Structure 1
Amino acid sequence: MSLIAGEFLLHISVWDLVTEIDDQLVPKDQLAQLLADAKISVDFVDLCNRYIDETPIGAGDVLLFRSGLYESEMIALDLFRDPEDQQDMVYLAYSCDPLRQKLVAESLLSFFESCKMQVSFSMGNHLVFARQMISLEVNPRPRGEHGYKQKIIDSSLGLE
């Protein structure tokens, strides 16, 4: 029996999105290939650098990247920087086209297994936290003890 899932949620370090080759940061192969196949464009090296250099502790938004090929496919990254977090942890949510569920599940699991900070990997057909991350009904939403108003930034509308 194989599991059918269209939604995935990973809790990992932002640094697990990239790897270092010859003193250069590059995107991890498993994730980069999955996104390339779906025509989703994310510059993970820039994202990691901006996360560290430009996102204050107690702040951070959700970045949403949509597929240029599959209408229902997208990746979202919750980049809120919790003051107690010392590992630069982020949430990665992925929603996929029904015809790609097996491929996406295998690719994301392979990616997760390559991560150094493996906090959690969830898959299902209705992941509440993943849906709340990208819901316009609950965002902007307060995050952290100082009530930072986290917003969704949709790359199809342009990133700040």
Structure 2
Amino acid sequence: MPRRFQEKRLFRSRSDGDCPVSQRLGRHKKKLGMNALSAAFSYYLAAGRRVEEMEEDGRLQDVYIRTPELVLMARRVDSAAPFGKVVDVRFRFEPGRCDAWHLHFLAGDVRELLAYKREILSLPWILTQHGKRGDGRLVKLPASRFCRLLGAFVGDEAFS
């Protein structure tokens, strides 16, 4: 049987009007929701990358949190380094030169970051990519300001 015909058969409704495959997919989507993991997967796929590449990027970070509530990839970098080195997950900086966290990827409930205030403040700067993917700009925020902004966003005065 030609492949095209087999695919059509999968999604054809039964005589009673039900489409079992579509129903299973719908239940699966509802179960997953748009949690942090599915948002991360969607982001990587939209960028033309595979989910496996996301996993590889995560393993190359200093911090890799991968839960349904939060996906965070961050590593220690030299904030004075060129853009290309900061965003290259394979490039390793000398530990003594690192003065910033580069947030390679962050998705999900930022309230989950409340548990990591001490780690966030362990380096004086936070670098994030600004605007569209790969536009060559980084935003450099003092870690203390990042924590204040996060505290204001989630309404937690203790985090500010």
TM-score of the two chains, using structure 1 as the length reference: 0.31
More relative contact order, 1 or 2 (CA 8 Å, 6+ apart) = 1
Greater CA radius of gyration, 1 or 2? 2
Q: Which has the higher strand share?
A: 1
TM-score of the two chains, using structure 2 as the length reference: 0.31
